[in-house]
Amino acid sequence: MALVQAKRYEEAIAALDQATELKPDDEWNWAHKGEALRQAGRYEEAIVALDRATESKPDYEWAWASKGVALRLAERYEEAIAALNRATELKPDYEWAWASKGVALAQAERYEEAIAALDRATELKPDYDWAWAQKGVALRQAERCDEAIAALDRATELKPDYAWAWTWKGESLRLSECYEEAITAFDQAISLGDSSWPYYGRGLCHVALDQLEHATSDFTAAIEHAYASLSHDPENTGEQFNLALYLLAAGQTEPALQAYQAGLALGPGRFTLHEALRDLAVLRAQMGPMPGLEKAEKLLAQQIG
């Protein structure tokens, strides 16, 4: 739909509201309404609309795949995997569904299954840069860093301006203790995008290389970028926890703990909480015991239960 492609989501939703009122059994209208709602970040409403699409047409593989993505973004991972399984059953060569299933499996911490699904996506479409990048992330999470770097190399070869893939390549290189190469990857990510994380990752590399002045500068830049991001999207829980992490790394203990409390107040899902805990474990491994770190871990662990 042209309005969705133009990112005019609210107009698209209004038009599709009218279309579904006029034709309540038209699966295309319900599916595209769900897609517009998903793109607008209204995931639960998207799932309801996509449910209507798959009820009207049970073999509608695109609607099943789109529903799976909406469920994943709502952090309902097992339901997402089930919907994406249905999409790949209906269309076994559906590379977007296989790649999306891989991401959902990774976020459910089922890494080997995730890698297998992403392998299938890249077999079906060898130039699928997003699937290569996601495979790299899943491999890194499975602690298969050499393979992760190779997959992320492929993603950045296919799409040299892929800032997100450069960031994860930097992360994988850093975890492999290839600090100079990691800095080069983070430099590339910084030159291409405005994300806060590459500054933080580069800062940790500088800590490992005992370049503390550079590290301080990078942590400060990460904090500034996170504040700027949150000014536009104050309910971004992941970025709120990132800000808290950067403040902790910069030695700003009280502001860091306040930022963690602000993130918890947003009601994060289990995956976001687990990611935040993992990030704290990485910080501890890189910089040793720090004031406030143990308290931050306890805050997050209590929320998980």
Write down the residue that tokens 């279309």 correspond to.
19
Is the per-residue pLDDT at 1 higher than 70?
Answer: no
Is the per-residue pLDDT at 22 higher than 90?
Answer: no
The residue range of the domain holding 66 is 1-70+81-92
- pLDDT tens by residue, 37-82: 898 888 999 999 999 999 999 999 999 999 999 999 999 999 999 9
Q: List helix spans (H) across 159-292.
A: 163-175, 179-192, 197-208, 212-232, 237-249, 253-265, 270-287
pTM of the model: 0.91
Report yes or no on 198 lying in a domain: no
pLDDT of residue 17: 64
Is the per-residue pLDDT at 265 higher than 70?
Answer: yes
Q: What region, left, alpha or beta, does residue 162 occupy, with left being phi > 0 and alpha being psi -120 to 50 degrees?
A: beta
pLDDT of residue 16: 67
pLDDT of residue 15: 74
- pLDDT tens by residue, 104-143: 999 999 999 999 999 999 999 999 999 999 999 999 999 8
Distance CA 181, CA 19 (A): 53
What's the structural domain count of the chain?
3
Report yes or no on 273 lying in a domain: yes
- Provide the greatest CA pair distance for the chain: 66
- Mean of all residue pLDDT scores within the chain: 92
Q: How many CB atoms lie within 10 A of CB 302?
A: 9
Report yes or no on 297 lying in a domain: yes
Same domain for 215 and 304, yes or no, is yes
Domain boundary among 141, 159, 193: 193
CATH number at residue 273: 1.25.40.10
